[in-house]
Structure 1
Amino acid sequence: MSQAELDKRAGLVAGYTSKVEAWHGSRGRALGLLTLPPLLEALGVAIAVVPVSSGREQ
């Protein structure tokens, strides 16, 4: 899927995905509470938080 198609499916401003992918640049953008959910939905994916074993008992 192209960046333009992803922007369209997620209802984001044209060019937003490109800016997220170039976050290190001066014009980069980050994902937040308003942009992450529609982007994930447009991609058909979810994020799961799982504990990482640190090797020590809690």
Structure 2
Amino acid sequence: MDLDHARWRTSTRSGGGECVEVAFVPGRTAVRDSKNPCGGTLLLPESAWRSLLSSPGR
């Protein structure tokens, strides 16, 4: 998936140098480390992203 034009935003739960960025693209949520934006990117199905956000202890 081409993420060159994705609109990345830093998670509101990031802090202390442990920053995570997310971008919402059709049918997926992309997640990457803001300190290494050229590194790997996780592409999660929308259902997996919702499940992650609703999990206890997040």
Relative contact order higher in (CA < 8 Å, ≥ 6 apart): 1
Task: Please confirm whether the aligned pair reaches a TM-score higher than 0.5, indicating the same fold.
Answer: no
Instruction: Determine which structure has more spread, i.e. the larger CA radius of gyration.
Output: 1
TM-score by length of 1: 0.25
Flag the structure with higher helix content. Answer: 1
